[in-house]
Structure 1
């Protein structure tokens, strides 16, 4: 159906046109009414109907002046005049400002129907023309995204200016809607990706926002907003992401640039917004990223130390919770420092290679499947987010623990795990090898040997590590004295605790506490 907006300063005439003419039978619905040209202007801007039926003689702003304004602002909008005067001067004026036709008062239903059939044909022609213009405009904008040659950029910008028929160039801002491949249920399906632009166009159309949408790459949309048009809020961009997930099963990150620029600088805008979208690596998938979300100059390419040996020890003990805690804490440090993606990928590849070496030691007849290993490493390099890299490491670690348990026998692995759980739970109490061996029904010497074989450390070393980790947590509380902490973790002698802490951490407990501030 087509929409019509009615304008007349005579209230009874307006009500009659709105309520008694059977517009629906003509395939038209009344979108709004105005009592004069001034009143109609604001409403037409908001509603943007297909047709404006306006009286000619009105106070404040007459129909001819309103029609001129409509033609200048919305060339596709069809205008029909309503007048009680059939003088040729009015008809001539009406046709001069682009009116499709005119109706004489009192209205004749057959005449209205005939005029509206002609108007609807004009509406359809306008829609087809607008669609063609939008496609041409989108193609020009798409070429400008990647064009680096200055002369070619100037030609494309000139073509865009001619298409828009404006005295000066429009200015555009850019947003990029990028599919999160690692977190999308249907990222590999061509059908879902091909409908991405349609879903975005439907969304903005329902909002009543004017944008130009270009499918730049298979999994990336470039969304252009023209200066002077209403812009989407952060929540509306987030709602676009939810719409895409709901309709297509695709997770999308949306990078929203705030700068407006002439067509000749669109390739520059694209580079800026692409860099903004790179924050997805740290922030995770499905985010709306604006300029203010990036911490300027806050980046580093030097990795902080990762407790790799202790993490591997946790895996060898099947201590999943502790291994996950260490990995999550380290991932948080990488995000905080904004460690470069390439550096993080190299670290992850090294860690995965270490797991492979432990599973398949050289010279012992073990060998990993090269194809599977290569696929795993490629998966790391292809990850769009740090979260995705962490997921690959977690999966590999879980497989490592499962294989270790299969090789060493579940019974012995469970015994060692039980000893670790006893120590974790009772670290603050006096613990002896004889007491532990009695609880798992093994001889002290066999327990020592088995524990070292499975964990790579002695029982005493493990107990010391647990106690000192707890001590570091307690040192964050300034109300606790060093002597009290020593007793809480199982050491009667504060001096022994201090010397042990210094030996393992390189600083005294008080020095460690000062560094926390």
Structure 2
């Protein structure tokens, strides 16, 4: 649909035009109204309508003056005049200032529909011309982004200036927007769909600020935004845009805002700078607006600082994942500060993962093939992603070691239980048991309680008393003999233990069998 702006100094006539003409049936919607030319000019600047229908005779600024000013500023807007029969001599003046049609008062619906169809056809022609011009501007700016030959660049710049009728001395700035790849991955939307939504949002943002921009596509998921240097938004406007994008879009975008201003022939310098700024995403993370100041006076280092590798592996072997994660994070903070080159960090990360897998005697970590892991590290968009990939492998290692330790402890506890069940009639102490499984008494107590839910002493007591209950069924055996057969030299201690655990004495238990 096309938008129309209505101007008439007669309030009733303005309301009638706005409310009673069936604009929507003609593919038109009313974007705003004004009662004189001056008011209309202010609102037209904000609303940017496709069509303007204005009365000729108005106070403050008449329709002819309004049309002249509109054509000075907006060559795409189509103007229609509204005039009475006694004002018909104004029609010639109206057509001289570029009016595409006129309507006579009182308005006739059939006449309105006829004129509107002609105006819509003109609007379509204008839009096609604009699209063609935008495509040509985009093509030239993209070629200029890579053209370093001075003569070729100058020729391209001349073509651009002839197309736009802008002064050759104009200087331009650039911002480079990139959809963060991992954020755009998903079944619901393609990278192309995300880019279309991003450009639509940016177009709305810049139009709201009356900034004319040209979008230039580069790599998949990237678009350059060119504008005249005098129109470039300030720092806080860019930051507001970053917040707005995070709120409006369901994927993240990182942008590099250049600080250079250059004539068209030197556009390749603008592109080169924003490309360098965008690479800062590796250190700073995604979803940000990165300014040129972020890379000023910074030097990349090729030397990795020392890493407490021994302590890190000890934390993993002790199943202390939090400690391992903390040590790694502190190290990566240092890497970002020193700005170690990505390739060097990737090689170091792969070497660390290799050593971890070798210590586990595991060629493939759970859920990952080694080659896929290496590929993910080399293709990581940010330093944080590499840290997460290492931590993911470390987490798998801790889980694997924990399972191995759990299996080992289960076997040890089973051995202790077997020793107790086979030797309950002999003197058994925690020291004698720990000697048989080569563990300290305290550690043996801990893992036995962890695996069985009871202490070794309670388990030994249970086994002995269960055997004593079996022996009590034999009436020929004395209580003293039964106590000795289940490992108790003191008969009184046996009786008190039996009473404490079963609630009756051995003799009372025997009577109830």
Query: What TM-score, normalized to structure 2?
Result: 0.72
Q: How many residues align?
A: 415
Deviations 1:105-129 (A, max 9, x none): 3333332222122111111222222
In structure 2, relative to structure 1, the CA distance for the partners of 1:156 and 1:72 (3 Å cut) is same
The aligned runs of 1:289-368 (5 Å cut-off) are: 289-294=290-295, 296-297=297-298, 300-360=301-361
Deviations 1:3-23 (A, max 9, x none): 111223333433333334333
1:379 and 1:414 mapped to 2: Cα distance?
38
Alpha-carbon distance, 1:184 to partner: 4.4
Alpha-carbon distance, 1:172 to partner: 3.2
In structure 2, relative to structure 1, the CA distance for the partners of 1:28 and 1:277 (3 Å cut) is same
2:99 and 2:270 mapped to 1: Cα distance?
41
RMSD (CA atoms): 3.4
Question: 2:381 is matched with which residue?
Answer: 384
In structure 2, relative to structure 1, the CA distance for the partners of 1:406 and 1:22 (3 Å cut) is closer
SS in 2 for 1:384: coil
1:43 and 1:332 mapped to 2: Cα distance?
52
Question: 1:238 is matched with which residue?
Answer: 243
Q: Decide which structure has the larger Cα Rg and report it.
A: 2
Structure 1: stretches of 5+ with no match in the other structure: 361-365, 416-437, 452-517
Question: 1:215 is matched with which residue?
Answer: 217
In structure 2, relative to structure 1, the CA distance for the partners of 1:109 and 1:134 (3 Å cut) is same
In structure 2, relative to structure 1, the CA distance for the partners of 1:42 and 1:298 (3 Å cut) is farther
Question: 1:157 is matched with which residue?
Answer: 157
> Does residue 1:397 correspond to 2:394, yes or no?
yes
Deviations 1:349-376 (A, max 9, x none): 221232244344xxxxx8679x944443
Runs ≥4 in structure 1, deviation > 6 angstroms? 366-369
Question: 2:118 is matched with which residue?
Answer: 118
The aligned runs of 1:9-408 (5 Å cut-off) are: 9-84=9-84, 90-168=90-168, 170-186=170-186, 192-207=190-205, 208-209=207-208, 210-227=212-229, 231=233, 233-244=238-249, 246=250, 250-294=251-295, 296-297=297-298, 300-360=301-361, 372-405=369-402
Structure 2: stretches of 5+ with no match in the other structure: 413-429, 444-513
Deviations 1:24-64 (A, max 9, x none): 33332221122222221111110011111122233433322
The aligned runs of 1:459-498 (5 Å cut-off) are: none
In structure 2, relative to structure 1, the CA distance for the partners of 1:227 and 1:81 (3 Å cut) is farther
Question: 2:469 is matched with which residue?
Answer: none
* Aligned residues of 1:405 and 1:413 also touching (Cα < 8 A): no
* Aligned residues of 1:255 and 1:289 also touching (Cα < 8 A): yes
SS in 2 for 1:289: strand
Alpha-carbon distance, 1:303 to partner: 2.8
1:155 and 1:447 mapped to 2: Cα distance?
84
* Aligned residues of 2:83 and 2:104 also touching (Cα < 8 A): yes
SS in 1 for 2:218: strand
Deviations 1:37-95 (A, max 9, x none): 22211111100111111222334333222212212222111011223366775323222
Question: 2:505 is matched with which residue?
Answer: none
SS in 2 for 1:9: coil
* Aligned residues of 1:80 and 1:102 also touching (Cα < 8 A): yes
Deviations 1:391-450 (A, max 9, x none): 1211222333344455666435999xxxxxxxxxxxxxxxxxxxxxx89x74599458xx
2:179 and 2:14 mapped to 1: Cα distance?
50
* Aligned residues of 2:36 and 2:62 also touching (Cα < 8 A): yes
In structure 2, relative to structure 1, the CA distance for the partners of 1:259 and 1:69 (3 Å cut) is farther
State which drifts further: 70-79 or 98-107. 98-107
2:27 and 2:280 mapped to 1: Cα distance?
49
SS in 2 for 1:64: helix
In structure 2, relative to structure 1, the CA distance for the partners of 1:149 and 1:372 (3 Å cut) is farther
SS in 2 for 1:177: strand
In structure 2, relative to structure 1, the CA distance for the partners of 1:274 and 1:368 (3 Å cut) is same
Alpha-carbon distance, 1:269 to partner: 1.0
2:363 and 2:120 mapped to 1: Cα distance?
74
1:180 and 1:408 mapped to 2: Cα distance?
41
